[in-house]
Chain A
């Protein structure tokens, strides 16, 4: 069990550029979650996959955001036409049941 990994750990981009983050969950976990965390706040739910199906999306997830989980393994989160307000820590978590989530270290996005 190598835990949840996320890449890159840090990303600096200019406003208007597209960025993509990757999350590799714990291999036997079928549930995968994306959260966004800003300074001084707790994580906010973005989207949820069960296997390859995206079952839930938050209202926070504007049409500039898209997430995929092909084949029910790793997941990607893409942000198009980034804005300064997108600067945050993006967290990925996976779980085998509804009771405990295992979090990755996060990807810190800075939009300049």
Chain B
């Protein structure tokens, strides 16, 4: 069965410092990978997605992620953090050509920004 692990439940960074939120997954078949962000009192919003092709994907708000199949990872990065980046981030894996129930969310990483 597929699974997704977000290795850090909380990540504090200083403003303008680089950000890395880690995500590893396991699956026996090809997968789609996503990162969603959840701001307080708002719905989850798609940051970026990997479906196929280039393994480096760019998303909104300056975030990007790299799909590394050999490491089964999809870490989210940003070169310089802003205060507005403070939120909960979810890594999501979905087996290709599979059912809705196979969309699996990680447990989330809370990113906090220190001035």
Contact = CB atoms under 8 A, between A and B. Distances in A.
Interface of A: 3-4, 31, 33, 35, 40-45, 48, 55-56, 58, 91, 93, 98-106
A101 B32 CA distance: 13
Contacts of A93: 44
Residue among B9, B90, B105 with most chain A CB within 10 A? B105
Contacts of A4: 43
A92 B32 CA distance: 21
A59 to B, nearest CB: 9
The 8 closest A-B pairs by CB, nearest first: A42-B105, A48-B100, A103-B43, A103-B44, A105-B43, A43-B105, A45-B101, A56-B101
Contacts of A98: 94
Contacts of B42: 105
A55 B44 contact: no
B28 interface: no
A104 B108 CA distance: 18
A41 B108 contact: yes
Nearest to A55: B100
A74 B101 CA distance: 20
B100 A42 contact: no
Contact of A103 (B32, B45, B100, B103): B45
Given A48-B100, A56-B99, A100 B44 contact: no
B49 interface: yes
Contacts of A100: 34, 46, 49
A110 B78 CA distance: 36
Given A41-B108, A103-B43, A56 B100 contact: yes
